[in-house]
Structure 1
Amino acid sequence: MPEPVSFSDPSLSVARDTLIRRGLRLSQLRLLVALRDTGQVSGAAAQVGMTQPAASRLLAELERTVEARLYDRHARGVTLTTAGHTLADRAEAMLHGLDDAHHQIAALSSGARGTVRIGSVTGPAVELVLPVIRELRVTYPDIELSVHIDTSDKLSDALTAGDLDFFIGRVPEGMDPHAITLEEVGPEPVSLVVRLEHPLSRKAQPAIADCLAYDWVMQPKNGLLRRTAEAYLLRNGYTLPERILSTSSMLLTLAIICETNAIAPIARSAANFYAGAEAFGGRIRQLNVAEDLSVVPYSLIYLRSVEASPAVTRVLTLIRRKINEKTIEGAFGA
């Protein structure tokens, strides 16, 4: 039984590029493909932009390189041999592959293709990232996006580890401010949301005190949104809710809201989205209370030491444009 051949066998690498070592040139392959298509040496020469004598010389050199006759002459021109057709077909595939590689490289260089890894806290994800995703699907479908939604401390760790190109959030304690570039966006207003048929929905002007009688769903302790909500209540002379379910999952938060009388503080941009008729079947509504409740401003954050790829630069440009549009509209902090 023959012994298996190792993939590290040096004889295989020689076999793989034998024709290149013998002097095979791309101009010869282009000429052979043109010869197959035109059936004439003169026509093939004209197609690739050379004289007929030069074409004849290149074809003769090619036959010596491959050690086979590639075409036969006849009264009406030439016909490729079986070997000629085999090489021409492979040459055409290779040339098309090079053209595709050129187009892909050009797309990467222009930012029309590439991978962009975005991190965001909940509010900006709905308000800024989602519209950019919609636009990119139409204008630059070859840009591959990944979006990671989490709290700012987790996003900061992911950015530092090289798992994100940038994130939209806040600088957590412990992050080196000298290592990042920060572009402040604006504050993040917060709304209290309940299910559509919640008892408080029957009140034209519910008060915060009314809300404290119900269960609340909030981030785990020390989460920024939870700290903000609790500080707001205490600052305005209220006690904290007696019953709080802690979860970092927005999906679970909304599911609980839909199925119980619980109340949850969430980013207003997210509340506007989820309270729409198309999201969760319009089963969520915002309470007309605590209109001035908001989280400290968030920012666009990326590492100083990492040069953004063209695709990342393109996405950042679109996000900055959305920020400017919303700033003009007065959407931030509204």
Structure 2
Amino acid sequence: MDSNRLLDGRLKMRHLTMVVAIADHGGVTRAADELHLTQPVVTRALRELEEILGVSLFERGPRGVTVTAFGAAFVEDARAIIRRMRQAARRLDALAAEEGGTVAVGTHLTGTDGFLPRAIHRLKRSRPRVVVELVEAPHERLVSQLSSGVLDIVVGRVDMSADIPCVRQVRLYTEGVKLVVRAGHPAAAQPDVTLDALRGYPWIFPGAETAVSRELFAAFTDRDLAPPEDRIISTSLSVPEILLLESDAVAALPGHMALDDGRFQVLQCDGFSLDRTVGVLLPQERSMTPTAVDFMKCLRMEAGKIREAAGAGAGAGAGAGAGV
């Protein structure tokens, strides 16, 4: 195929977005719904694209379409082009609006809680016209959106041992996960309560897809204990606090959320130890926009404050009896 055929003006961006949507959704109809177009329009655009390329990109079947070898190769290139165009638009926006601009941030709340809002507040204090777009989604979807250029940065728990294609991980801070109950909870009077004893109370677990949830289950199974049967699964930041205050529930919360306000207490549990590393995911193959660079500085400064507080707390012997 003559490569100049792709540069003769017939190939449009709409062809690229359309072919990626078909590949992602496995069918013309679902792609049309995603793009807010009619099925005939998408079908016609696909036919145009295949005529330009001179190859079939998809095999049609009763249950949708299957990507051909030609299609897989072209979809990969189409994603890269779309990603670069989104990056170009963000860069121009940032340069055009000196104190403005936009930064798109992905997050899974169990890994960011109060840390992310404080970093956003720091950024907005210095650049009030910056628009911060927050996207909450499971880890896998956030990585996909970061790679495709939809997101500038992902903030949350990171696994530094994991190798994620096209993604660079940056550690910001590490802290312990504590077992927390309300002040006056029956278990709070015990100097060294066991996980077996705590199994009889209601538990608040983070989302099933989170690393903390998996590690909580492992903490029980490693001791040959069945996980608590009375469980509430929540990704909310406010619901656990209310449930803790109104019941005898037990929750696993980040150490820096331990505030000495008298309402909650951290349990000293035999051998229970969980750590989480909070950091950011950055695109490996493209540079950050100026706005994203500024936001990264804010994240680093807020992370530094958490590390300093953790060091001071350790030096003062903080921990037992502290509230959330």
- The TM-score range, normalised by the shorter chain, is 0.5 to 0.7
2-side partners of 1:309 and 1:186: how far apart? 24
Distance 1:159 1:179, change over 3 A: same
Distance 1:128 1:248, change over 3 A: closer
Give SS of 1:200's match: helix
Counterpart AA for 1:258: L
Give the C-alpha shift of residue 300 in structure 1. 1.4
Q: CA RMSD in A?
A: 3.5
Distance 1:333 1:223, change over 3 A: farther
Give the C-alpha shift of residue 332 in structure 1. 12
Is residue 314 from structure 1 mapped to residue 299 from structure 2 by the alignment?
no
1:232 corresponds in structure 2 to 219
| Uncovered stretches (5+) of structure 2, i.e. residues with no partner | 1-91, 315-324
2:24 corresponds in structure 1 to none
Give the C-alpha shift of residue 188 in structure 1. 4.2
1-side partners of 2:271 and 2:97: how far apart? 44
Give the C-alpha shift of residue 246 in structure 1. 2.7
Distance 1:176 1:188, change over 3 A: same
How many corresponding residue pairs? 221
2:10 corresponds in structure 1 to none
2-side partners of 1:315 and 1:131: how far apart? 11
Counterpart AA for 2:203: W
Give the C-alpha shift of residue 219 in structure 1. 3.0
2-side partners of 1:114 and 1:223: how far apart? 32
Distance 1:126 1:253, change over 3 A: closer
Give the C-alpha shift of residue 161 in structure 1. 4.7
Residue of structure 2 aligned with 1:202, choices 185, 189, 208:
189
TM-score, length of structure 2 as denominator length: 0.56
Identity fraction in percent: 19
Counterpart AA for 1:320: R
Distance 1:161 1:195, change over 3 A: farther
Structure 1 contact 184–300 (Cα < 8 Å) conserved: yes
Give SS of 1:192's match: strand
1:216 corresponds in structure 2 to 203
Give the C-alpha shift of residue 170 in structure 1. 4.7
Is residue 267 from structure 1 mapped to residue 254 from structure 2 by the alignment?
yes
1:85-104 equivalent positions in 2, closer than 5 A: none
1-side partners of 2:242 and 2:141: how far apart? 24
Structure 2 contact 157–279 (Cα < 8 Å) conserved: yes
1:46-195 equivalent positions in 2, closer than 5 A: 108=95, 112-122=99-109, 125-126=112-113, 128-170=115-157, 177-195=164-182
Give the C-alpha shift of residue 212 in structure 1. 1.4
Per-residue CA shift, 1:206-231, capped at 9, x if unaligned? 33333111121213445321111121
Structure 1 contact 179–303 (Cα < 8 Å) conserved: yes
User: If you compute each CA radius of gyration, which structure gives the higher value, 1 or 2?
Assistant: 1
Between 143-152 and 259-268, report the one with greater CA deviation: 143-152
TM-score, length of structure 1 as denominator length: 0.54
2-side partners of 1:178 and 1:263: how far apart? 37
| Uncovered stretches (5+) of structure 1, i.e. residues with no partner | 1-104
Distance 1:106 1:154, change over 3 A: closer
Structure 1 contact 217–245 (Cα < 8 Å) conserved: yes
